A = this chain, B = another copy of it.
Protein backbone atom coordinates (compact mmCIF):
# COMPACT_ATOMS: atom_id res chain seq x y z
CA UNK A 1 0.00 0.00 0.00
CA UNK A 2 1.43 3.32 -1.01
CA UNK A 3 1.65 5.86 1.77
CA UNK A 4 0.56 8.42 -0.78
CA UNK A 5 -2.60 6.55 -1.81
CA UNK A 6 -5.13 8.98 -3.21
CA UNK A 7 -7.73 8.17 -0.52
CA UNK A 8 -5.45 9.17 2.31
CA UNK A 9 -4.23 12.48 3.63
CA UNK A 10 -1.40 13.52 5.89
CA UNK A 11 -2.02 15.72 8.92
CA UNK A 12 0.80 17.71 10.51
CA UNK A 13 0.75 18.52 14.22
CA UNK A 14 3.09 21.12 15.72
CA UNK A 15 3.82 21.70 19.40
CA UNK A 16 5.77 24.98 19.43
CA UNK A 17 8.41 25.78 22.03
CA UNK A 18 11.14 28.37 22.47
CA UNK A 19 13.77 25.61 22.90
CA UNK A 20 12.24 22.55 21.26
CA UNK A 21 9.34 22.30 18.81
CA UNK A 22 7.74 18.90 18.38
CA UNK A 23 6.30 17.77 15.06
CA UNK A 24 4.20 14.77 14.22
CA UNK A 25 2.68 13.47 11.00
CA UNK A 26 -0.12 10.98 10.78
CA UNK A 27 -1.92 9.51 7.81
CA UNK A 28 -5.71 9.47 7.88
CA UNK A 29 -7.25 6.81 5.69
CA UNK A 30 -10.99 6.43 6.06
CA UNK A 31 -11.57 5.98 9.78
CA UNK A 32 -8.05 4.77 10.44
CA UNK A 33 -4.96 6.72 11.39
CA UNK A 34 -1.37 5.65 10.91
CA UNK A 35 1.94 6.95 12.17
CA UNK A 36 4.09 8.57 9.49
CA UNK A 37 6.87 10.53 11.17
CA UNK A 38 7.67 12.63 14.21
CA UNK A 39 10.57 14.39 15.84
CA UNK A 40 11.89 17.40 17.70
CA UNK A 41 13.30 20.57 16.19
CA UNK A 42 15.88 21.96 18.60
CA UNK A 43 16.78 25.53 17.89
CA UNK A 44 20.06 25.55 19.77
CA UNK A 45 22.09 28.43 21.06
CA UNK A 46 22.46 30.70 18.05
CA UNK A 47 21.40 34.37 18.15
CA UNK A 48 17.62 34.60 18.45
CA UNK A 49 16.81 35.55 14.81
CA UNK A 50 18.94 32.60 13.63
CA UNK A 51 17.00 30.23 15.86
CA UNK A 52 13.71 31.42 14.41
CA UNK A 53 15.11 30.98 10.90
CA UNK A 54 16.21 27.45 11.76
CA UNK A 55 12.74 26.62 13.07
CA UNK A 56 11.03 28.17 10.03
CA UNK A 57 13.28 26.26 7.60
CA UNK A 58 12.82 22.98 9.48
CA UNK A 59 9.01 23.25 9.36
CA UNK A 60 9.29 24.21 5.68
CA UNK A 61 11.35 21.11 5.00
CA UNK A 62 8.90 18.82 6.81
CA UNK A 63 6.01 20.25 4.78
CA UNK A 64 7.96 19.89 1.52
CA UNK A 65 8.82 16.28 2.32
CA UNK A 66 5.44 15.00 3.50
CA UNK A 67 3.03 17.43 1.83
CA UNK A 68 0.37 17.39 4.56
CA UNK A 69 -3.12 18.46 3.51
CA UNK A 70 -3.99 19.79 6.96
CA UNK A 71 -2.16 21.16 9.94
CA UNK A 72 -2.86 21.83 13.58
CA UNK A 73 -0.95 23.63 16.30
CA UNK A 74 -1.24 23.81 20.04
CA UNK A 75 -2.59 27.02 21.50
CA UNK A 76 0.11 28.49 23.64
CA UNK A 77 -0.58 28.37 27.32
CA UNK A 78 -0.59 31.96 28.49
CA UNK A 79 1.37 31.71 31.72
CA UNK A 80 2.31 34.40 34.17
CA UNK A 81 5.85 34.80 32.88
CA UNK A 82 5.54 37.48 30.21
CA UNK A 83 9.18 37.28 29.08
CA UNK A 84 8.98 33.54 28.33
CA UNK A 85 5.56 34.00 26.70
CA UNK A 86 7.17 36.53 24.36
CA UNK A 87 9.88 34.01 23.36
CA UNK A 88 7.35 31.26 22.88
CA UNK A 89 5.18 33.61 20.81
CA UNK A 90 8.06 34.34 18.45
CA UNK A 91 8.79 30.64 17.96
CA UNK A 92 5.10 30.00 17.34
CA UNK A 93 5.08 32.87 14.82
CA UNK A 94 8.00 31.33 12.91
CA UNK A 95 6.27 27.93 12.72
CA UNK A 96 2.93 29.48 11.71
CA UNK A 97 4.55 31.50 8.93
CA UNK A 98 6.03 28.31 7.46
CA UNK A 99 2.61 26.61 7.55
CA UNK A 100 0.72 29.61 6.16
CA UNK A 101 3.29 30.09 3.37
CA UNK A 102 2.58 26.51 2.29
CA UNK A 103 -1.12 27.49 2.12
CA UNK A 104 -1.98 25.07 4.90
CA UNK A 105 -5.12 25.86 6.81
CA UNK A 106 -4.01 25.69 10.44
CA UNK A 107 -6.38 24.59 13.20
CA UNK A 108 -5.64 25.47 16.82
CA UNK A 109 -6.40 23.36 19.88
CA UNK A 110 -5.83 23.97 23.57
CA UNK A 111 -3.64 21.48 25.43
CA UNK A 112 -6.76 20.46 27.34
CA UNK A 113 -8.71 19.68 24.15
CA UNK A 114 -5.79 17.66 22.77
CA UNK A 115 -5.49 15.58 25.96
CA UNK A 116 -9.22 15.03 26.09
CA UNK A 117 -9.23 13.82 22.47
CA UNK A 118 -6.30 11.44 22.94
CA UNK A 119 -6.42 10.30 26.57
CA UNK A 120 -10.08 11.06 27.27
CA UNK A 121 -9.12 13.30 30.18
CA UNK A 122 -8.24 17.01 29.81
CA UNK A 123 -5.86 17.08 32.77
CA UNK A 124 -3.84 14.03 31.69
CA UNK A 125 -0.09 14.29 32.25
CA UNK A 126 2.57 14.11 29.55
CA UNK A 127 3.45 10.49 30.31
CA UNK A 128 -0.18 9.44 29.80
CA UNK A 129 -0.16 11.23 26.43
CA UNK A 130 3.03 9.38 25.46
CA UNK A 131 1.51 6.02 26.44
CA UNK A 132 -1.71 6.66 24.52
CA UNK A 133 0.15 7.83 21.42
CA UNK A 134 2.25 4.64 21.53
CA UNK A 135 -0.94 2.54 21.80
CA UNK A 136 -3.08 4.44 19.27
CA UNK A 137 -0.40 4.56 16.60
CA UNK A 138 1.08 1.10 17.27
CA UNK A 139 4.56 2.39 17.98
CA UNK A 140 7.33 0.13 19.24
CA UNK A 141 8.50 2.59 21.89
CA UNK A 142 7.48 5.79 23.61
CA UNK A 143 8.06 8.86 21.42
CA UNK A 144 9.85 11.84 23.03
CA UNK A 145 7.44 14.10 24.93
CA UNK A 146 7.44 16.96 22.40
CA UNK A 147 6.96 14.57 19.47
CA UNK A 148 4.17 12.76 21.36
CA UNK A 149 2.42 16.08 21.99
CA UNK A 150 2.67 16.97 18.29
CA UNK A 151 1.27 13.58 17.24
CA UNK A 152 -1.53 14.07 19.79
CA UNK A 153 -2.38 17.44 18.18
CA UNK A 154 -2.52 15.81 14.74
CA UNK A 155 -4.74 12.98 16.11
CA UNK A 156 -6.98 15.52 17.85
CA UNK A 157 -7.43 17.32 14.53
CA UNK A 158 -8.14 14.05 12.70
CA UNK A 159 -10.91 13.31 15.23
CA UNK A 160 -12.28 16.82 15.61
CA UNK A 161 -12.39 17.67 11.95
CA UNK A 162 -14.34 14.42 11.47
CA UNK A 163 -12.59 13.65 8.23
CA UNK A 164 -14.19 10.88 6.23
CA UNK A 165 -12.29 10.19 3.10
A158 at the interface (CB under 8 A from B): no
Q: B residues within 8 A CB of A10?
A: none
Are the CB atoms of B79 and A82 closer together than 8 Å?
yes
Alpha-carbon gap, A50 to B48, bound state (A)? 23
**Which B residues are CB-close (under 8 A) to A99?**
49
Q: Mark A46-65, 1 if CB is under 8 A from B, else 0.
A: 01111011001100000000
CB closest residue in chain B, given A92: B90
Most chain B CB atoms below 10 A, which of A47, A49, A94 = A49
Does A41 sit at the interface, judged by CB under 8 A? Answer: no
Q: Which residue in B85, B87, B101 is a CB contact (below 8 Å) of A82? A: B85
